[in-house]
Structure 1
Amino acid sequence: MRSLIPFAATEPKTRLAPILAPDERAAFARVMLSSVVETVIAADFEPTVLATAQITDPLPAAASTVVDDQPLTAAVNEQLADGTPTLVVMADLPLLRATDIHDLVGTDADLTIAPGLGGGTNAFCTREPAFRVDYHGASYLDHCEIAADCGATVETVDSRRLATDIDEPADLAEVLIHGDGAAREWLVDAGFELDTDDGRVGVRRQ
């Protein structure tokens, strides 16, 4: 089974602009990418990073890079067009573990999908040659419908680690609370800490 990790290499994570400068967003995105790559490798895959531009940071020898500057949906669908069974994992899942990958690929379903907390699609494994993606809006529901239209069986993996992607400043609290890897270390080194002053857990920068 092929494995893909889409990655926005230019101007990543713009919704983190209120708390991170452009160079910091780029650095944090690369840290999360490296973490996901290493986790996918630990799950016995040799991932291909599907990047919008060339990545200058070195990747592990087991990983490769394909540059495709198309929008996410078009780039992933081009890879799916040959019908090869494929695992797709987003690059901003800092809590991801190898066991989560095993859960995705270990089912008998034609499509196994991990939704994000906001209704997106954070990872999926497809064995259905006709399946295609549409990442706009509530893509988890869209992908379930697309699979049904293909006559494919669907299984959902309900996992906090798979569901936690990093898009908004509030998402960083999940990394500080539940993370134990490079992304959490980067945030701590950058001066971030939990903020519980308003009753709801958030983050602040020292």
Structure 2
Amino acid sequence: MDALVPFAAREPKTRLATVLEPDERVEFARTMLRDVCSAIDATDASPTVLSTDPIDSEWPVVVDDRPLTAAVNDRLDPPVAVVMADLALATPDALSRLFGAEGEVVIAPGLGGGTNALVVREPDFHTDYHGASVADHRRIASEVGVEATAVDSFRLAVDIDEPEDLAELLLHGSGESVEWLRSAGFELSTPDGRVTVRRQAR
């Protein structure tokens, strides 16, 4: 199965701007992309990076600077998977469970209502990544006559988007992205009993 990995190469991870400088965000985003592609590569699927700009990668790269929905839909040739590039907690086991799940449309929901990963086997299905996309994708599946299957996976539900997400990565991650954060001085902190991160002075 082909697996598209959309990647915003231009000014990535803007919501991490309070904790990372622009060049750090680029480096961190590309490190997470490598972790995701490596995890996919360890399954029966083959990753292709769908990037907004040319990038160096050991995996095939297709450049498309259109909005996410249009770029993905133009390449939605079933059977195909779509896996977001910031799922740094993803493991080959979690992805294999997604790829192997039965159903014409299989969804791995994100914690905030997004769609973190998809498997599409129905040729009439299309994506819509605006707003609460997981609800939209269930609706679109119903409109084309199939029922979307949900895969309940913590490792696929957590996308690394906000500063608080870095704590989840430090707690549960095991790839290059974790090592990058640690080398950048990030560590877990528990003020008032709540787990968060802090950055050591460098």
TM-score under structure 1 normalisation? 0.94
Identity of aligned residues (%): 58
Is 1:78 aligned with 2:74? yes
Counterpart-to-counterpart distance in 2, 1:188 and 1:167: 17
1:163 match: 157
Per-residue CA distance 1:71-106 (angstroms, 9 max, x = gap): 1011001112xx431111000011111111211121
1:187 match: 181
SS at match of 2:149: strand
Counterpart-to-counterpart distance in 1, 2:192 and 2:165: 16
SS at match of 1:165: coil
SS at match of 1:4: strand
Cα distance, 1:107 vs structure 2? 2.2
Counterpart-to-counterpart distance in 2, 1:190 and 1:49: 26
1:35 match: 35
Counterpart-to-counterpart distance in 1, 2:53 and 2:192: 40
8 Å CA contact retained: 2:138, 2:147: no
Cα distance, 1:45 vs structure 2? 2.0
Q: What is the correspondence of 1:107-186 to structure 2 with a 5 Å cutoff?
A: 107-186=101-180
Counterpart-to-counterpart distance in 1, 2:7 and 2:121: 22
**Runs (4+) off by over 2 Å:** none
TM-score under structure 2 normalisation? 0.96
2:45 match: 45
Which of 94, 97, 102 in structure 2 is aligned with 1:100? Answer: 94
- Uncovered stretches (5+) of structure 2, i.e. residues with no partner: none
- Uncovered stretches (5+) of structure 1, i.e. residues with no partner: none
8 Å CA contact retained: 2:186, 2:198: yes
> Which residue type is aligned with residue 21 of structure 1?
E
8 Å CA contact retained: 2:81, 2:117: yes
Cα distance, 1:157 vs structure 2? 0.5
Cα distance, 1:119 vs structure 2? 0.9
CA RMSD between the two structures = 1.0
SS at match of 2:160: coil
Counterpart-to-counterpart distance in 2, 1:45 and 1:109: 17
1:8 match: 8
Per-residue CA distance 1:118-141 (angstroms, 9 max, x = gap): 110000101010111111111111
SS at match of 1:50: strand
